[in-house]
Structure 1
């Protein structure tokens, strides 16, 4: 959805009802967000923290709380819009769930979101880095990265039609997650439309080495990591047995995509639009 369209929606009532997360047979929804609200509003302040003081990965953007960077569309979505000032300075949006959720022992936990990744073809997306991910709540209580655990459910760089699912864990160099690169797998992704990205944490086996973390795109698994692959009980516990919180953001530049192209347009279309987020448990 183009940013101009969402600005026009600010002067008229929303005509589109929010679409709620689908039910999954045998599972209960333990958290959901459908981003219903007035066009131009901020995400719910009792559910999300809108971040404005993040400095990682040599990214060039500053995150802001402005609805120029993150806003409810009025059509049942939240939009993330990176913008470049006349002076060439970048801003963007990042939200983090206030709550955190622990994958329950003996259960299957799914974290999913329905995401549109800026399908406006005239945007030059060099340097843009949208992401949907979960971070160990231990980060909020003094544990360092990557020991707290990080599950990147979906990342895309430079607008290329490749999505990545990645684990970060253990020590900052090397270790079971090959830091700082992480343990990653990729999948081809469609060029347009909303698609459901998810991660499944399966703790139904009492043997932690046989438990799994799996990544899906529209229900199709494209990567699986087992406890045996990590081969370290405390590290696996940080990833699969400990509370996680949810993050949605669009970064600009940084170590992975590199600098944004000078011709990258800003404000013409939302780089990432999210229809719903949900957490399920069996």
Structure 2
């Protein structure tokens, strides 16, 4: 997530819940996926996910993440719902991190994607709500600091705005080749709060790290790309393209980027991020 650091219910009433298998794509084989099977109101599969519990103390965010089905639950319709709640003056929310890791392989294209929608609250009631689908370098779990571990934000959006952000964070903080803390990013207009597919593709088929690419897509349309020669530092580029990565799904509340909730901000299912599947592929 932008400026990120790292320290280590009930079904949606009145709204139809859709479900997908991870799709097939020509030229790719499915390597790993979670389609969030399970009854409503249960935690997601803990063989696949670490469910965070506590306040990470990052980005000046307000929420405390809870290992609670009130904040992160299977819907009963093969989706995951990550739900922020306001309880008095405090906020709780959900964050899950995959136990599965993957490394984009040389000579291949690697793809990661998820199907995501947002809760139906009016956009004017989402000040401070910050959902994200992203990746961190697994080396952070063994002591490599952020952003040297590498971070790839596949989707972020803030304050209910219908703008999606795709960003890399890498190298050193502040400054460096990734312009931290801002990172190197692109944006795309989101048509509505309903289901969209968010994807990132590593192309390592050229045999030269300088011409390798990382490309972002919404619904098959490209909206951002970074090449190795734009970073122009092989060690930094490797942290993004040739080291193990893990998935993160979360909804933060407040923080340096979105700012804080206001008197109109609502939590609950109408402010959630809902995920139909997470999948990783290789050519």
SS of 2:102's partner is: coil
Instruction: Determine the structure 2 residue equivalent to 1:85.
Output: 87
TM-score by length of 1: 0.93
Measure, in 1, the Cα distance between the counterparts of 2:42 and 2:93. 16
- 1:46 maps to 2:83: no
- Aligned residue pairs, count: 274
Question: Alpha-carbon deviations, 1:184-242, whole Å to 9, x = none?
Answer: 11110111321000110110011100000000000110011000000000000000111
Using the TM superposition, give the Cα deviation of residue 118 of structure 1 relative to its aligned residue in structure 2, in angstroms.
1.9
Q: Rate the CA distance shift 1:8–1:186 in 2: closer, same or farther, 3 A.
A: closer
Q: Rate the CA distance shift 1:219–1:254 in 2: closer, same or farther, 3 A.
A: same
Measure, in 1, the Cα distance between the counterparts of 2:121 and 2:107. 43
- 1:63 maps to 2:69: no
The one of 12, 18, 32 aligned to 1:6: 12
Instruction: Determine the structure 2 residue equivalent to 1:12.
Output: none
* Matched ranges for 1:260-275 at <5 A: 260-275=261-276
Measure, in 1, the Cα distance between the counterparts of 2:229 and 2:18. 45
Which moved further from structure 2: 112-121 or 251-260?
112-121
* Contact in 1 for aligned 2:101/2:246 (Cα 8 Å): yes
Instruction: Determine the structure 1 residue equivalent to 2:159.
Output: 158
Instruction: Determine the structure 2 residue equivalent to 1:217.
Output: 218
Q: Write out the 4+ residue segments of structure 1 that deviate beyond 3 Å after TM superposition.
A: 3-9, 15-18
| Structure 1, unpaired ranges of 5+ | 10-14
Measure, in 2, the Cα distance between the counterparts of 1:55 and 1:242. 26
Q: Rate the CA distance shift 1:38–1:5 in 2: closer, same or farther, 3 A.
A: closer
TM-score by length of 2: 0.93
* Contact in 1 for aligned 2:17/2:79 (Cα 8 Å): no
Instruction: Determine the structure 2 residue equivalent to 1:249.
Output: 250
SS of 2:168's partner is: strand
- 1:168 maps to 2:169: yes
SS of 2:270's partner is: coil
* Contact in 2 for aligned 1:17/1:36 (Cα 8 Å): no
Measure, in 2, the Cα distance between the counterparts of 1:197 and 1:171. 27
Measure, in 1, the Cα distance between the counterparts of 2:222 and 2:14. 39
